[in-house]
Amino acid sequence: PGIWFFDPAFMATAACDSAITYLDGEAGILRYRGYPIEELAERSTYLEVAYLLLHGELPTAEQFEQWKHDITYHTFIHENVRKRFLEGFHYDAHPMGMLVSAVAALSTFYLDAKDIFNLESRNKQIIRLIAKMPTLAAAAHRFSVGMPFVYPDNSLDYCANFLSMMWKVAEPRYEAHPTLVRALDILFMLHADHEQNCSTTAMRVVGSSHADPYSACAAACAALYGPRHGGANEAVIRMLTQIGSMENVPAFVESVKQGHGRLQGFGHRVYKNYDPRAKIIKRTADEVFAVTGKNPLLDIALKLEEIALADEYFVSRKLYPNVDFYSGLIYQAMGFPLEMFPVLFAIPRTSGWLAHWVEMLDQDSKIARPRQIYSGAEKRDYVPMDQRS
Ligand code: CMC
């Protein structure tokens, strides 16, 4: 039946041809559609980056106004999604579990989503998904802490609106500190795409069956829910809390070297150099802490980085801080609970997932269907139950 390559976890398999994100892990380079991540983080905004990922080019002023308008006016979710669906969860439901389910449920509200080769319908679903993710995310958080739902305030920009839905407690409106809004925008840009990671692969695999984009996106969210993917920044905070003080850092690093656990937020399957996103995040962290006050775990993190980067164990294995090492410290300083960390990853990654979904459909790709190496029993005869031992 032909030649197959055994490549569990696809470590040596390019499963598609993509023009969206360029990643050179040895050199520590990340570009979206050719634009270096450093330049985008400095000069762009999340919504512009989302447009770039999806359309391949930066928008003109007119295109951007239209894009922003469309996203802004699709931020509301159907009342039944909130009242019947989200409020039906157990009182202590994890917000990421709620998000995974709510995204899947959206496919039942937009039946036109099944028409994936109708470009008008396709674009409408893309806009709906990017627009509604912050609303669903904030609704899941408010429910899980017993706070009333806050409707979108469409006079605000994307990130400011999300922060308002998260934190608003009284009328007339909630206005987040502009430094925090910008920091969130930068974090969203850094998380928008990362080529064929686990969740994007899930989006492509499910999308290859021509499922609607909400169902495919729910699969991508589910992949992100796993601690090996979207949960690493939460693990960093737990690790730093466990270390407890700067004096304990050397002993902790030694225990990692002896094989007791891993340094969370260090190492990457593709980056064998400093993750370029981690460098940007480190700068952003200083700006955020100037407003929120320093996260007390920062000094432990800095000490840990200093010791690890000078240690032969980490140097020889090319283990550097990754995007998650500092992002959790920022989110925590901004007031987000740990359970919201994967949700904060899912919001911006939605644009990347959708860009890959569109690219895959436009390439008229086949349904994803890998083969296997069978290692089970040889042919044998059925044994009736009363004769089994
Ligand atoms: N701390 C200590 N040792 C490590 C670490 C670490 N964080 N990461 C890898 N190693 C060691 C590992 O023990 C192995 O050593 P040896 O050759 O002696 O057996 C060597 O480095 C290679 O490890 P690997 O598991 O083969 O590497 P991988 O490419 O399969 O794993 C990784 C990549 C990200 C899963 C891993 O580095 C890790 O577990 N890091 C900590 C968790 C983390 O920060 N994850 C976030 C990843 S970035 C976000 C995302 O893209 O979703």
* Active site (annotated) includes residue 229: yes
Answer yes or no: is the C-beta of 318 below 6 A from any ligand 1 atom. Answer: no
pLDDT, tens only, 252-265: 999 999 999 999 99
Nearest to 280 by CA among 85, 8, 37: 37
Cα 100 to ligand 1 centre (Å): 26
Digit-coded pLDDT (tens) for 71-105? 999 999 999 999 999 999 999 999 999 999 999 99
Say what the pLDDT of residue 4 is: 85
For residue 13, report the distance from its CA to the centre of ligand 1, in Å. Answer: 19
ipTM of the complex model: 0.95
Judge whether residue 297 has pLDDT over 60: yes
**Average pLDDT rounded to a whole number, residues 311-335:** 93
Is there a contact between 290 and 179 (Cβ–Cβ < 8 Å)?
yes
Q: How far is the CA of 182 from the centre of ligand 1 (A)?
A: 31
Contacts of residue 72, Cβ cutoff 8 Å, sequence gap at least 6: 131, 154, 158, 161
Please give the single-letter amino acid code of residue 64: F
Closest atom of ligand 1 to 267 CA is: 37
Is residue 164 within 8 Å of 174, Cβ to Cβ?
yes
Angle between helices 158-167 and 46-55 (to 10 degrees): 120
pLDDT of residue 2: 74
Cβ atoms within 10 Å of 23's Cβ, excluding its own: 18
**Is 7 an annotated catalytic residue?**
no
| pLDDT of amino acid 228 | 84
**Model confidence over 99-154: pLDDT tens digits?**
999 999 999 999 999 999 999 999 999 999 999 999 999 999 999 999 999 999 99
Atom 46 of ligand 1: nearest residue by CA position: 232
Contacts 24+ apart (CB under 8 A), 38-43: 38/276, 38/279, 38/280, 40/189, 41/186, 41/189, 41/190, 41/280
Section 343-352 average pLDDT: 98
How many CB atoms are located within 10 Å of the residue 246 CB? Answer: 13
Task: Assess whether pLDDT exceeds 70 at residue 1.
Answer: no
Q: Which tokens in the block code for residue 293?
A: 């006050």
pLDDT by residue (tens digit) across 352-375? 999 999 999 999 899 999 999 999
**What pLDDT is attached to residue 376?**
97
Q: What is the pLDDT of residues 3-35, one digit of tens each?
A: 888 999 998 999 999 999 999 999 999 999 999
